[in-house]
């Protein structure tokens, strides 16, 4: 059910998506310029999890071209409502194998590939569904966080070799969801490490790293995709 803002004006605090976007784009440019990069090489993925389709529509109107969702089912609902072609759809959350087919059917990019089993399943499904190409990132766990998804660094070569043998999966680069630190500077060594791995494994490949509170540091360390939610849409 959608409650009209006028009916709950006391709690309703408008988040000006267009203003927030303008601000973030400026900060992206400033961070890029600080390290001599071109801001055009950095893609902003607007993380829209827990926000309704109407909010995404407002974001599209304000110039957003790519959305990130962390759950297949939630994302699918919005993609169906808004339209597959209306934006680029990125799955950024952990993908369970029983949701892999739905994910292949609706998402353009999957950021969270972290096992050969999952990769093999996605490849099989793509062939099955006649999908020529699916862009994927390998999510790396640099902190040894048992609770999070992501592949330990030591297992990367094997998965990457497998991805390179795939017909449909296109290995785009590496993705990182680092531990949370209040001070974004504390995340810098993780961003830096991911970049070094990228240079080693897939020179010139993409780096999906940086969120609302640390995307500027991520850009200084080479991010080519930043995934920003709260700073665009407000608190979830
Ligand atoms: C939620 C989420 C983000 C965005 O986080 P914000 O702090 O709201 O910008 C980015 N990446 C992943 C994987 C997420 O789950």
Residue 67 DSSP symbol: E
Separation CA 208–CA 111 (nearest Å): 8
The pTM for the full model equals 0.93
Which CATH number goes with the domain that contains 65? 3.20.20.10
Q: Dihedral angle at the C-alpha atoms of 122, 125, 131, 132, nearest 10 degrees?
A: 60
pLDDT of residue 197: 98
Q: Which atom of ligand 1 is nearest to the CA of 92?
A: 13
Residue 5 falls inside a structural domain: no
Q: How close is the Cα of 70 to the center of ligand 1, in Å?
A: 8
Q: Which atom of ligand 1 is nearest to the CA of 212?
A: 9
Residue 172 falls inside a structural domain: yes
Residue whose Cα lies nearest atom 10 of ligand 1: it is 227
pLDDT of residue 9: 47
Residue 3 in this model has a pLDDT that exceeds 70 = no
Number of structural domains the chain divides into? 1
For residue 228, the enclosing domain spans 12-233
Residue 1 falls inside a structural domain: no
- 3-state helix/strand/coil string of 21-51: HHHHHHHHHHHHHHCCCCHHHCEEEEECCCC
Residues 207-233: pLDDT tens digits?
999 999 999 999 999 999 999 999 999
Q: Which atom of ligand 1 is nearest to the CA of 231?
A: 9
């Amino acid at each position: 059910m959608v409650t009209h803002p006028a009916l709950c004006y006391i709690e309703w605090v408008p988040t000006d998506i267009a203003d927030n976007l303008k601000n973030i784009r400026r900060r992206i440019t400033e961070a890029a310029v600080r390290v001599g990069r071109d801001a055009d090489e950095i893609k902003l993925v607007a993380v829209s999890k827990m926000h309704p389709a109407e909010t995404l529509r407002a974001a599209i109107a304000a110039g957003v071209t790519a959305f990130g969702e962390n759950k297949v089912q939630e994302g699918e609902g919005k993609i169906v409502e808004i339209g597959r072609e209306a934006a680029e759809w990125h799955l950024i959350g952990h993908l369970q194998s029983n949701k892999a087919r739905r994910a292949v059917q609706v998402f353009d990019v999957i950021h969270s590939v972290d096992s050969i089993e999952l990769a093999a399943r996605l490849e099989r499904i793509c062939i099955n569904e006649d999908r020529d190409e699916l862009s994927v990132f390998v999510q790396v766990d640099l902190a040894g966080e048992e609770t999070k998804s992501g592949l330990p660094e030591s297992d990367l070569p094997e998965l990457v070799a497998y991805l390179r043998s795939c017909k449909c999966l296109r290995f785009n680069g590496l993705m990182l969801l680092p531990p949370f630190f209040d001070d974004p500077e504390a995340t810098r060594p993780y961003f830096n490490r991911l970049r070094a791995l990228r240079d080693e494994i897939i020179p010139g490949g993409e780096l999906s790293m940086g969120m609302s509170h640390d995307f500027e540091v991520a850009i200084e360390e080479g991010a080519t995709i930043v995934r920003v939610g709260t700073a665009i849409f407000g608190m979830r």
